[in-house]
Amino acid sequence: MITQVPHIRIRSVNEAQVNTNGAFVLYWMIAFRRIQWNFSLQRAAEWALGLGKPLLILEALRCDYPWASDRLHRFVLQGMEENAKRLEDRPVLYFPFVEREKGQGKGLLEALSTLACVVVTDDYPAFFLPRMVATAGRKLPVKLEAVDSNGLLPLRAADHVFYSAFLLRQFLHRELPNHLVEFPLEDPLAHLQVPPLHRLPKEVLQKWPPSTEDLPSLLAGALTGLPIDHSVGNAPVTGGSRAGEETLRSFVEEKVPLYHTGRNHPDEKATSGLSPYLHFGHVSVHQVFSELARAEGWSIEKLASKGGGRREGWWGMSPGAEAFLDELVTWRELGFNLCSRQDDYDRLHSLPPWALDDLLQHAADPRPYLYSLEEFEGAQTHDPLWNAAQIQLVREGRIHNYLRMLWGKKILHWSASPQEALEIMIELNNKYALDGRDPNSYTGIMWILGRYDRPWAPSRPVFGRVRYMSSRNTLRKLKVAEYLKKYR
């Protein structure tokens, strides 16, 4: 089939054939929960057009995934409501399915795939999704393709893991220009002419009734009836592509010039707030890049001919935009690179040997303070700045980036062992943070323990040569007065 989706982004999950007698092409949306700038949807639309078949989009929300809570469900549901709206006048059938009880959705994908010509899904490298897709590949009777719409650099563009941001930057400077000319379509459904699909078979609809009409009531309160964690309440952030696009617009219009100087200061509010939207796929990194490039009057000719791994000056954009792209592209995609190549990305033993040796050598050092998971969770430490960061996480589902580093470093400092610190960071980050359960979660958490960093002399108790941070220095360096007042 002729495709505009780069081949490097398409992966066959199984060896089953396309069923040309099928009734429709199925896009099983599991990570890139959006209608725009989405290579997976674009690929599914290409299949539908090529086969002359209708296109069905299944967006399901299970209730048995780890850390499922009102907070996470609500954010995803707001996205589903937005997707339903955006697809209303499109030539596709949208099937949102929200599980009311554990296991209710079991069998739905198989049932639909027996009617489908081919199934396309999202190739996301972390959390339970890779296992779920591999299992589906073994079960489905038709071809299953997973498409990579994760980053500017395709996951398979490199054949190895990058052990530092510098090494990835060097690679990006050489390779990324080839991929900057291969963006997904802003609107993959524009001009799509395929036969409509009005209804699904009665047996499917009876067993798995679509949640189309229920989305507003679920958002209005019916979530309380679902078997998910109701102790993690709503965050003051709205999910969905529209909210994500507004966040992007206000960042590009108002904050980019402040980013490189203000990013680290909690009181300056100079960061984008995009991570939850990127995590749930409500906004795409290609879309973020395109908006930024447009505002900067950027074109590909502005790239420096040589980058050599330097942090600034390669893109040919303003200092704020360059600093932002270093986070959005280099740091974000480091984690995607690792998670797509190593299953043990969340295990202590996957740390660089120098960091692991140092942490284990100091594992029995006396700690100046020792807290349990419950004490950390309840923000009950002796340190007001640490407690403020934890309170922000619990209340709002996020922590300001710089304080997130301090937050993690102190969990390492005040936990009984590096293994326990790792478990506590994963639990709190993934339970409360809207952007948790992401490759970035493990980049951040493992950075606390030495990944992507270098040894820092002198060796200290508990940390060895792993980088140390203190609240006192942070208070001295950052503007946090307002922050401390707000999260008391």
Chain residues that interact with ligand FAD, rule: CB under 6 A: 263, 271-275, 278-279, 327-328, 331-332, 401, 404-405, 408, 425, 429, 433, 435-436, 438, 440-441, 443-445, 447-448
Task: Give the shortest CB-311-to-ligand FAD separation in angstroms.
Answer: 13
Q: Identify which of residues 42 and 443 has a Cβ nearer to ligand FAD in the complex.
A: 443
Kindly tell me which of 200 and 385 has the beta carbon lying closer to ligand FAD.
385
- Least Å from the CB of residue 41 to ligand FAD: 21
Nearest distance from C-beta of residue 309 to ligand FAD, angstroms: 17
HSE toward the beta carbon, residue 46, CA cutoff 13 A: 18
Whether residue 345 contacts residue 339, with contact meaning beta carbons closer than 8 Å, is answered with: yes
Nearest partner of 429 among 414, 446, 450, judged by Cα: 446
Neighbours of 210 (CB within 10 A): 18
Quick one: tokens of 376?
């950390």
What residue number has its CB nearest to ligand FAD?
444
Beta carbon of residue 459, minimum distance to ligand FAD (angstroms, whole number): 22
**Cβ atoms < 10 Å from Cβ of 327:** 17
CB < 8 Å & 24+ apart, contacts of 230-235: 230/69, 230/70, 231/69, 232/67, 232/69, 232/70, 232/71, 232/72, 232/431, 232/432, 233/70, 233/71, 234/70, 234/71, 234/74, 235/71, 235/75, 235/395, 235/396, 235/397, 235/398, 235/434
What is the rounded CA–CA span in Å between residue 120 and residue 25?
A: 8
Q: Closest CB to ligand FAD among 54 and 436?
A: 436
| Closest distance to ligand FAD from the beta carbon of 164 (Å) | 13
> Nearer to ligand FAD by C-beta: 94 or 314?
314
Q: Least CB distance from residue 162 to ligand FAD, whole Å?
A: 13
Closer to ligand FAD by CB, 43 or 451: give it: 451
Q: Please, which residue, 41 or 448, has the CB nearer to ligand FAD?
A: 448
Q: Which is nearer to ligand FAD, 143 or 279 (CB)?
A: 279
Q: How far is the CB of 217 from ligand FAD (least distance, A)?
A: 30
- Least distance (Å) between residue 271 CB and ligand FAD: 3
Q: Which residue has the tokens 């398409």?
A: 10
> Quick one: 93 or 405, whose CB is closer to ligand FAD?
405
Q: What is the DSSP string of 310-339?
A: -SSSSS-S-HHHHHHHIIIIIIHHHHHHHH
Shorter beta-carbon distance to ligand FAD: residue 213 or 254: 254
Query: How many Å apart are CA 459 and CA 357, to the nearest integer?
Result: 12
The residues that bridge with 57 in the sheet, in sequence order, are: 27, 94
Between 309 and 408, whose beta carbon lies closer to ligand FAD?
408
d(C-alpha 341, C-alpha 80), whole Å: 30
How many CA atoms lie less than 13 Å away from 193 in the CB half-sphere? 1
Q: Which residues pair with residue 93 across a beta bridge? A: 56
First and final CA of the chain: distance in angstroms?
Answer: 59
Alpha-carbon span 145 to 119, nearest angstrom: 6
CB of 392 to ligand FAD, least distance (A): 11
CB of 393 to ligand FAD, least distance (A): 10
Strand 144-147 relative to strand 10-12: parallel, antiparallel, unpaired? antiparallel
